[in-house]
Structure 1
Amino acid sequence: MKITLIREEKESGKETVSTCEADALLEKIKTETKAAHVTALRTMLLYTTPDARGHYEHIDKLPRIYPSIEYGRSRDGSRKMKHYNGVVMLEVNDLAGLSEVELVKEQARLLPQTWAAITGSSGRSVKIWVKFVLPDGSLPVKEENITLFHACAYRMAVQCYQPILPFPITLKEPSPTQSCRMTLDVTPYFNPDAIPFCQEQPFSMPGEQTFHQRKLMEKNPLLRLKPGFETSETFTILFETALGRALDEMENWKRGDALHTLLVCLTEHCFKAGIPEEETVRQVMIHYYRQADEQIVRTTIHNLYRECKGFGKKSALTPEQEISLRLEEFMERRYEFRFNTVSNDLEFRQKDSIHFYFQPVDQRARNSISMDALQEGIKVWDRDVNRYLASNRVPLYNPVEDYLCSVGRWDGKDRIHALADLVPCNNPHWRQLFYRWFLNMVAHWRGLNKQYANSTSPLLVGSQGFRKSTYCRIILPPELRFGYTDSLDFGSKRDAEMYLGRFMLINIDEFDQVSINQQGFLKHLLQKPVANLRKPYGSSIQEIRRYASFIGTSNQKDLLTDPSGSRRFICIEVTAPINTSVTINYRQLYAQAMDAITKGERYWFDDTDEAVLKESNREFEQISPLEQLFHCYFRSPEEGEMGEWMTSMEIIEYLQGKSKTISLSNSCISTFGRILKKNQIESKRTKRGMQYEVIMLNK
């Protein structure tokens, strides 16, 4: 692994870039050059206070070390990144002296992931270098992936190293370009066989704790269970076991006796079994619904759970603090909340095994939560509940990222091409074009390319009843089908742009109904990587992340009206009804896409693909009357023939003499020029304008 050293002379602005192997660099910092610039710097700092703004005159003689990136020179002489090393640098600064420096280095050695630990150029700091890799042992290559990977790696490194270090780590903005000055360390720590941390390629920059992360951090394994039959069955078995033990201890108790005596003993056993409080309430109400009052049962169980947890001690908290903490405990005990960042909706479900699905938090739900809190004796107002729901106490939830992270490992069976094969057609390129489009769709869900959008869209053309729209819908898994729509309104441009961040797949149903005037806006939507809009009730314009890919259907064949080409569409004639009743293993389908993207397979359309698209789309292009009239009176010269050079206006004027319906206008002339270019008519630029070589028929 090569480390980059860059020295910049401030007076001349000249920059010197050099690289050396890591072990050679560590040997180099053990001794100092005759100029002794590091020693002079440390001597100066020894006699200055930390807040003094002194400047060492030879500071530019000490090159900066870039452990994370190997730099090189481009053809124009500028600096460019050649390789990402996957090294994160942690800094512990403001140490008192050499003893504290050595203590930090010794502590850093305790972790096998420490690649190097060296004294900083000031003599009062330590630089700790930690290695990271992807699960397959490789490192990200694209700059946007490197930035995300490095930011998340820095956060992980801080969380792992801070508990073992006696002094705080100086937190800095995580960047692969982080560097430090050349230093002097007689005894640096270097472990070339350090075990790197393994980290998945992240989807986004680390931010607030997400709903998925909060669930994984739950200490009680029962609360980490996904809702469904497994959870219900587990809780039922545990409760029945606890009930059996309680009945054994209450030998004389029988149904009809006072429930409270049994409830106390039962609740203690439920608590010891790790059954959540809300689940205990539900199970008791199921067993003793005839003689149990829910409010009494709930209060009794809640008080006993508090007692078992050690609650109820006298506190020095103010009344406001106590109410706030009680409200937070109530919310976390009885409900699960999450903020859906795709739909911008607040969602919730009750914490018991029969409420499997999250529901939007509407006004009715807010009022019910407030009433439940008041019934438990928590003196809260509606605004207190609303304040909690609009705070960072509610974790963020991205359903797209959550689904893609949970698909698991691909089993090796090709399912994307099999999904394409459901569409009966005669186009030999359809399977591979659909495969590329599908990878492109998933890659943009992951946010891998923010400079370009998935601007290519399949168009399924066929008779009514061929189940084209149904096929478009089953491309998405049931968990993400809320992100499908076929109701795109081109009349409302703002709403149409909002759809780019709200939906994952947009079906332009009845594509032939899109007018020529709307084609320009459609092209704008297809190639727009992000949308800059002001959200409803928002006060500022924000950048909205795009998730949407497009697909379309039509019953008519002459669809494409753009004279400049048709590379943005994959037009396929469906020859028979599509079999949409098949069972699709969606997790493996998307696991295949994730595996291909992770391994660096191309997901964008290159020039070869676009040439195939243009050629196969010719039969779907709509030929205008002007173009038809041109083919009646002109043709392109064949090899060896000499044609006549004419401007587009001269050709149109000639055609006007043949048909009086043609109107001469600037838009007509410019459009006609694109038509000639599409038909590959030879052209050249002259003083008279652009001329085209044609041969006149029936002259």
Structure 2
Amino acid sequence: MKVSSVRTDKNGQQFLKNYEFGAFLDRIKTDTASFLIGFLRDEASPEAPTHYRHYHDIPHICVPMELRRQENGAIGMSVFNGLVVLEVRQVMSQKACEALKRAAMVLPTTLAAFIGASGHEVIILVRVARADGTLPVSEVEAEPFYALAYKQMAHVYDATLPQRITRMTPTPRHTFLLPLDKSPLTNPEAVPFRINAIGDTTIDDQADEHLLALPERRDVQEEDMTAYSNYERAYRDAIQRVAAHLGNPKRWGTKWYKAFVTGMATELYRAAWPQEEAVCHLWGHLTFKDEPGLTEDFVRRTVEAVYEEEQTLKHRQDLARETEEPVMQQIIRRMEDRYVFRHNTIMGYTEYRANHTWVTPWQPVTPQVINTFTTDLLLAGLNLNNHDVQYYVNSTRIRKYNPIEDYLMQTGKWDKRDHIRALAATVPTRNQAQWADWFHTWFLAMVAQWQGRDRRYGNAIVPLLISDQGMHKSAFCRLLLPPELRSWGYMDNLSLAEERPVHLAMSQMLIINLDEFNRISPLKQQGFLKNILQLPSVKVKRPYSRYTVEVPRLASFIATTNMADVLHDPTGSRRFLGIEVTGSIDVSQTPNYAQLFAQAMEELDSGARYWFNDEETKVIMAHNRKFQQLSSVEQFFHEFFEPTLPEDPEAEWLSVAALMMIIKERAGASFKAPALNAFGRTLNGLPELVHRRSKNGSEYCVKRLF
């Protein structure tokens, strides 16, 4: 088993190196030649924490899977190692770290435990496997498995360790800084924990759902980690100053500990710490929480009181600020002290996270969260109701955040290689060039749909992958989106039974996979599905909203099926790109997503066509005839007649009634004659059948086959 080391320089170039696991454990016993880890632990200034300037020189370690450099230049999975990474952060001392390591090694599933780069986190490697003992073989299979395994193992280790596992967004691409631990613990005989596909749902599971919502870009996480490490160093220095000032008491007790909290709050204020940062560090690091009265609420009230007092001393002209300041201004000030907000324009709701560097994921502001905000403000002495808080969090004062724009703007410059057609080439089919061109147009239409380049039309084209089971069709569909977008923007279990959830999904999802397309009834395919495919916008009721609004459609569709004759509507077949998959799709390589979307962006900006013209549509309809499921009426028609052109010597013009009469005479009782108008609609739906208007109604140009 190998683990991977990835270092990114200041220019964004990545350097990859793989270690045997034993060599990796030996490597972390000593610092780098430049003592990068030691400087990370020691260099930060206590008075003015700043980002660690050598951060980019420290390698990032990926343990869940071995990485490799692919032909497209991207770094992707080579082998999934069957390991889940659990981290316990904010560990106060070296002694506590060692205790956590020993506690983790008690469980037979622990492969290794060691201290992380900051010196205040413990990293635990846990062996896992599927219920049958196997492991995922591709990254798209590894992602959902790792997410499920992470949840289950986090709960198992929570019950064993003296400190709770720090929750993070579970991804097999999870990395941590190169650790430094002179005595890492390991168990070569560790056994894998068998992960069930359906785990039991707990309250903690529900609370952790937001972890899969919108993962932060890696650079944001790194900045948080750097700032967090610097704050940790500054906090330890503040402890020494406060302890020296208070001295050693004759008897340790609650009075001394409360004085310590007050002194620390004063030190952190004078070091220009944000208030919420001070609360978070103080409560997280207290080792005497069992003392009477030393609660999180006491720490928060003490910090708030010290900060208010210090601000009053500094600004004597504002002594009466709390009484003169409008209530709404007090609400905004206190909320911004404790939280950071953003309005997710895709999901349609406001999200928040704590205003400190102890990395926490963004969470939606639900009605329950509003009530929590209101309760905290009431306990702080403000006279308000929950509507006051709602006015603020749902106002235009909250900055807007669009995760799609955020991702696309980070893709960089296109290297001029055709990554889109290269991705299409991983799908083996009979006409590879035609499929590559069709996929290229559809992919551009998908990105154009996200960006709202044309609000008049929706992306009505659906690639339909057709093959036997086990060809990785669904895995290919998931692979179309990068993990940052796939975790929230991909859906493959949409039910078309109700209109409302379908419209909501179309406004929030990026790709909807109509898996098992053959299960969609002919009536649903010819009616509801045909309608929604061409919609440029949808009317939805957003989460936590009371109103129905019209919003742009985001989702593009793709479909998979194991049956060939799945298209029921002849006129609607132009909306599908029927593709016979002739072999197993290659999902072993991770696409170079940055270049994939950089290509789409640059081509769209240069005016590339992202729709099919009339000639291409005719080719598509002719191509899809072999995938048509003919009704009994159509089958009887084709048994006795053949569409032809008027120039054909055997051509004749027959009305709907005449055609039906002849079929009834030839087929006898086996022909269940439909109504004339229904039969006429069927004939009009045959694209190759020429018709004209006459005094007797519509007539069709046919040639008899009997």
Shorter-normalised TM-score: what interval? 0.5 to 0.7
Correspondence for 1:522:
529
Judge conservation of contact 2:322–2:330 (CA < 8 Å) in 1.
no
Aligned to 1:7: none
Structure 1 counterpart of 2:473, which letter? K
Aligned counterpart, 2:477: 472
Q: Residue by residue, what CA displacement relative to the aligned partner does 1:370-411 show, whole Å, maximum 9, x if unpaired?
A: 343344444444443344333334333333333333333334
Q: CA deviation at 1:241?
A: 4.0
8 Å contact kept, 2:504–2:541: no
Aligned length: 474
Task: Give 2:657's aligned amino acid.
Answer: M
Once the two structures are TM-superposed, the CA of residue 271 in structure 1 deviates from its matched residue by 5.0
The amino acid across from 1:341 in the alignment is T
Q: Which amino acid aligns with 1:683?
A: H
Once the two structures are TM-superposed, the CA of residue 278 in structure 1 deviates from its matched residue by: 2.0
The equivalent of 1:237 in structure 2 is 230
Aligned to 1:52: none
Query: CA shift at 1:332, angstroms?
Result: 0.5
Matched letter for residue 502 of structure 2: A
CA distance in 2, matches of 1:551, 1:502: 16
Q: Is 1:485 equivalent to 2:491 in the alignment? A: yes
Give, in whole Å, the separation in 2 of the partners of 1:225 and 1:634. Answer: 64
Among 678, 685, 694, the alignment partner of 1:668 is 678
Shift in alpha-carbon separation, 1:253–1:315, aligned structure 2, 3 A: closer
Correspondence for 1:562 among 552, 557, 569: 569
Whole-Å separation in 2 of the counterparts to 1:225 and 1:374: 37
Relative to structure 1, the CA distance from residue 659 to residue 431 in structure 2 (aligned partners, 3 Å threshold; closer, same or farther) is same
Question: Which residue of structure 2 aligns with residue 591 of structure 1?
Answer: 598
CA–CA distance in structure 2, aligned partners of residues 240 and 494 of structure 1: 52
Match of 1:604 among 590, 611, 626: 611
Q: Does 1:403 align with 2:412?
A: no
Alignment CA distance shift 1:493-1:336 (3 Å): same
Partner of 1:336: 340
CA apart distance, 1:225: 10
Structure 1 counterpart SS, 2:574: coil
- 8 Å CA contact retained: 2:242, 2:260: no
Match of 2:580 in 1: 573
The structural deviation recorded for 1:448 is 0.9
- Give the corresponding residue for 2:287: 289
Amino acid at match of 1:352: H
Larger displacement relative to structure 2 (268-277 or 333-342): 268-277
Is the contact made by 2:378 and 2:384 (CA closer than 8 Å) also made in structure 1?
yes
Q: Give TM-score, length-normalised by structure 2.
A: 0.60
Runs of 5+ consecutive residues of structure 1 not aligned to the other structure: 1-223
> Which amino acid in the other structure matches residue 452 of structure 1?
Y
* Distance in structure 2 (CA, Å) of the matches to 1:537 and 1:235: 33
- 1:512/1:554 contact within 8 Å kept: yes
In the TM superposition, residue 452 of structure 1 has moved relative to its aligned partner by 0.7
Query: What amino acid sits opposite 1:471 in the alignment?
Result: F
The Cα offsets for residues 553-599 of structure 1, whole Å up to 9 and x where unpaired, read as 11110011212352101111222333334333433332222222122
* CA–CA distance in structure 2, aligned partners of residues 271 and 537 of structure 1: 37
2:513 is aligned, of 495, 507, 520, to: 507
Could you tell me which residue of structure 2 aligns to residue 653 of structure 1? 661
The one-letter amino acid of 2:696's match is R
Aligned residue identity for 2:455: K
**% same residue:** 34
Answer with 627-636 or 328-337: which moved more.
627-636
SS of the counterpart of 1:228? helix
Contact 1:242-1:273 within 8 A present in 2 as well: no
Unmatched 5+ stretches in structure 2: 1-216
Displacement, 1:523?
1.0
> Counterparts of 1:295-694 in structure 2 under 5 Å?
295-306=297-308, 310-311=314-315, 313-314=317-318, 319=323, 321-428=325-432, 429-481=434-486, 482-518=488-524, 519-532=526-539, 542-564=549-571, 566-636=573-643, 641-660=649-668, 661-675=671-685, 677-678=686-687, 680-694=688-702
Q: Distance in 1 between matches of 2:605 and 2:321?
A: 51
Q: CA deviation at 1:473?
A: 2.5
> For residues 484 and 439 of structure 1, what CA distance do their matches in structure 2 show?
17
Cα–Cα, structure 1 residues 620 and 400, in superposed 2: closer, same or farther, change >3 Å? same
- What amino acid maps onto 1:448 in structure 2? R
C-alpha offsets along residues 340-361 of structure 1, whole Å, 9 cap, x if unaligned? 3332333222122234311223
Distance 1:405 1:380, change over 3 A: same
Instruction: Give the Cα–Cα distance (whole angstroms) in 1 for the partners of residues 372 and 539 of structure 2.
Output: 37
CA contact (8 A) 1:634 1:697 kept: yes
- For the 8 Å contact 1:636–1:694, the answer to whether it is kept is yes
Q: Distance in 2 between matches of 1:535 and 1:368?
A: 22
Distance 1:391 1:454 in 2: 32
Structure 2 residue aligned with 1:277, among 271, 275, 278?
A: 275
Q: Deviations over 1:283-314 (max 9, x none)?
A: 33444432775444434444454566545643
Instruction: Note if contact 1:644-1:693 (Cα within 8 Å) is conserved in structure 2.
Output: yes
Larger relative contact order, structure 1 or 2 (CA cutoff 8 Å, min sep 6): 2
2:691–2:700 CA contact under 8 A, matched in 1: yes
Residue in 2 aligned with 1:228? 221
What amino acid maps onto 2:559 in structure 1? G
Q: Distance in 2 between matches of 1:255 and 1:426?
A: 82
Task: Give the Cα separation in 2 of the matches to 1:488 and 1:243.
Answer: 52
SS at match of 2:681: helix
Amino acid at match of 2:418: D
Native 8 Å contact 1:507 1:552 kept in 2: yes
Alpha-carbon contact 1:460-1:468 (below 8 Å) kept: yes
Q: Contact between 2:349 and 2:543, CA under 8 Å: does it hold in 1?
A: no
Q: Is the 8 A contact 2:574 2:617 kept in 1?
A: yes
**CA, structure 1 residues 281+520, in 2 after alignment: closer, same or farther (shift >3 Å)?**
same
Secondary structure, aligned partner of 1:566: helix
Partners of 1:624 and 1:516 lie apart in 2 by: 10
Could you say if the C-alpha distance between residues 413 and 261 of structure 1 is closer, same or farther in structure 2, counting changes exceeding 3 Å?
Answer: farther
1-structure distance, mates of 2:376, 2:248: 29
Helix, strand or coil at the partner of 1:459 = strand
Per the TM alignment, residue 443 of structure 1 is displaced from its structure 2 partner at its CA by 0.7
Instruction: Compute the displacement of 1:453 (Å).
Output: 0.7
- Deviation (angstroms), 1:270: 4.5
Contact 2:348–2:543 (Cα < 8 Å) also in 1: no
1:377–1:581 distance in 2 versus 1, CA, 3 Å: farther
Deviations 1:529-567 (A, max 9, x none): 122466689777632221121111111100112123521
Instruction: Judge which range, 394-403 or 332-341, deviates more.
Output: 394-403
**Larger Cα Rg: Structure 1 or Structure 2?**
1
Instruction: Using the TM superposition, name which of 576-585 and 556-565 deviates more.
Output: 576-585
**Equivalent position amino acid for 2:505 in 1:** Y
SS at match of 2:464: strand
The CA deviation at 1:272 is 6.3
AA of the residue aligned to 1:408: G
Q: Give the alignment of 1:124-139 within 5 angstroms.
A: none
Q: Secondary structure at the match of 1:659?
A: helix
- Relative to structure 1, the CA distance from residue 580 to residue 271 in structure 2 (aligned partners, 3 Å threshold; closer, same or farther) is farther
Q: Conserved in 2, the CA contact under 8 Å of 1:235 and 1:279?
A: no
Instruction: Please report how far the alpha carbon of residue 514 of structure 1 lies from its aligned counterpart in structure 2 after TM superposition.
Output: 1.7
